[in-house]
Amino acid sequence: MAPPSTNGRRASLTAGILLAGLGLAAGPVGSAAGAATYLYVGGSGCSDSGSGTAAVPFCTIAKAAKVALAGQTVLVSSGTYTDEVFPWHSGTSSAPITFQPAPGASVTISGAIHGFTISNQSWITVSGFTVQNSTSNAFYVYNATGIRLSGNTARGSGQRVNGSTAYGMYLNAMTSSVVTGNLVTDNSASGIYLTNGSTGNQVTGNESSWNAYGYVRNAVGIDLRAPGNVVSGNRVHDNEDSGIQSYPGGDGNTIVDNVSYHNKGFTTVALTNCNAPSSGNTSGCITGDHGIDDYGVTGSSVVGNTVYDNVSAGINLEGVPSGTSSGFTFADNVSVDNGVNCPDGAGGTVKCPRTRGNLRVDGTSQLGTTLDHDLVNLTVSGGTMMVWGSTSYTSLAAFQSASGQEPHGLQADPRWTSPSQGVFTLRAGSPAIDSANSSAPGQPTLDAASKPRVDDPSTPNTGVGVRSYDDRGAYEYQPTTASGATP
C-alpha cells in the first residue's frame, strides 16, 4: 500500500514560501528556474533552517528532499543518517532531481522506516547510497515514472518475524524507470519486487542475494508481479526461494542474460513450505526453489540465461490455464545440475521432493511454448534432464524425440570458468560459443557483462539469426589475439 498521502500538506506550501526559505527566486513548484544547481547536506556548520549551500549545508537529507526542485542535485557528505528521504517535488524528463553522495563520500541511511520513499513524484534519481536496517522496505516507490535507482545497496530491511518483514526494493505502480547496478542482500523479504502494474521498466545489472523470510520459504531475488518489464544481466543467488520469478500479473516480461545459481540452502529452523527435512535433522528445512520460475503467466521470453545448481527445476513454466497458449519462448539458455540434490546440513545430500530437471514445462503450459537452442547438462548420475508435461527425461535426445522441441538443443559441458566460485564465463572450446539464435526475442547485442557479441575465429559458426556467432548463456566468450587483446 502507498504511505499516507501528504499531498494536502505539500499543496499548502506555495512555491514562493519554499523558495523564500532557500533565498532563491520564486518560480512554480517543480521548476528549478533561478534555483541553485546543487543542494548540500552534512558537514560542519550545517543547519536545516539554512539555505543548503556549500557554506551552510542542510543537516538532513530529508530537509533537502523537501525543497529540491527539477534540475537540482542533492550532494550528501559522508556519514550515517537516520532520516527517511521523501521528495516533495518531481523533476522532469530533461531535468530530474538527483540524490547522490558528494564526490568521494560514503553515505549510509540506517534505521529509518524507509531509506527512500518516492510517492506520487516522478523523474527522480537516487544513486550510490547504502540503506541498511530499515524497519520497512529500504526503497519504496509508488505511482511514479522516470525513476532511476542505481549503484545503491539495500541491506537488512525488516525483521524475520511474521508481520515485520520488508523488501529491499518495493516498486509499486512504477513505470518507465531504471533499476540498475544495485546490491540487494540479506533482506527479510524478496530483494526486488515489482507489483501493481509496474511496467516498462529496466531491471539490469543488479545483484540480489541471501534474501530470506526465515520462517517461511518465500523470499525471491527478483519477484515480478507486473507486466512488460526487461530483466537483464542480473546475478541472483542464495535466496530462500527462486532466483527470479514471474507470478500472476507478471505477463509479457523479458528475462534475458541473467545468472541464477545456488538458490538453495539448509536451515535448522522448521520453515513453512519446506522443500524437505534433512534425513539427519527432521526439524531442519531445505530452502531454495527454481533458478527462473514462471507460474500462471503468459507471453514472456526467457533467453540467454545461465542457471546452475538450484534446488528445483532450473527454468520452470507451470500453471498456465489449460487451453491457453503460454506464448513463452525459451532459447539460448544454459542450464546445468538443477533439481538434483539438496544439502542435508551435515555435508551430505538428500533428494528433493519438488520439481526436477534443467528445463520443465508442466502439463497445462505446453500449448504455445517453444524451446530451442538451449544447452543442458548433468554432472551427476540419476538426475532428470528435462520435463515436458508429466513425463521426465534423463537425456536431451529422449526429450527431443518425444516432444519435438529443442531441435538445436545441446547436451554438453558448457566449460564454465569456475561454477563453484560463481564464475560462469566460458572457456575456449565451449559448445555454447557461436551457436545461439541471435534473433531469439529479447536477445541483446551485449552480454551480461556489457561486452559485445564477437566471433570466435577458432569456432565454426553454427548459430542462426541476425548474427551467426552469438553464444548461449549470459556471457559472450571474448577470444584473445596473439597480442592478448580481444579482436
In whole angstroms, give the CA distance from residue 145 to residue 148.
Answer: 9
Model pLDDT, residue 486: 53
427: pLDDT strictly greater than 90: yes
The CA distances from residue 385 to 319, 335, 362, 381, 391, in Å, are 20, 9, 14, 10, 11
Instruction: Supply the range of the domain harboring residue 338.
Output: 61-406
pLDDT tens, position by position, 309-343:
999 999 999 999 999 999 999 999 999 999 987 77
Which residues lie closer than 8 Å to 4 by C-beta, 6 or more apart?
none
Residue 407 has pLDDT above 60, yes or no: yes
Question: What is the pLDDT at residue 114?
Answer: 98
Percent above pLDDT 70 for the chain: 90
Q: What CATH number is associated with residue 266?
A: 2.160.20
3-state SS, residue 421: helix
pLDDT confidence bin for 15, thresholds 50/70/90: very low
Contact 224, 171 (CB under 8 A): no
Give me the amino acid identity at 376: V
Closest Cα to residue 71, out of 31, 20, 129, 119?
A: 31
170 C-beta neighbours (distance < 10 Å), count:
25
pLDDT band, very low/low/confident/very high, at 285 (cuts 50, 70, 90): confident
Give the per-residue pLDDT at 275: 84
Residue 93 confidence (pLDDT) above 80 = yes
Task: Please tell me the predicted confidence (pLDDT) of residue 203.
Answer: 98
231 three-state secondary structure: strand
pLDDT level of residue 149 (50, 70, 90 thresholds): very high
Q: Does residue 17 form part of some domain?
A: no
Predicted confidence at residue 272, as pLDDT, reads 87
Is residue 219 assigned to a domain? Answer: yes
Contacts of 45 (CB under 8 A, 6+ apart): 55, 56, 57
Task: Compute the average pLDDT of residues 178-207.
Answer: 98
Q: CA-CA distance, 152 to 134, in Å (whole number)?
A: 14
Q: Does the residue 457 lie in any domain?
A: no
| Residue 478 is assigned to a structural domain of this protein | no
A 10 A CB-CB count for 431 gives 20
Sorting pLDDT into bands at 50, 70 and 90, what band is 255?
Answer: very high
Per-residue cell: 403: 516432444
**Is residue 454 one of the residues assigned to a domain?**
no
- Specify the number of domains making up the chain: 1
Structure letter (DSSP) for residue 453: P
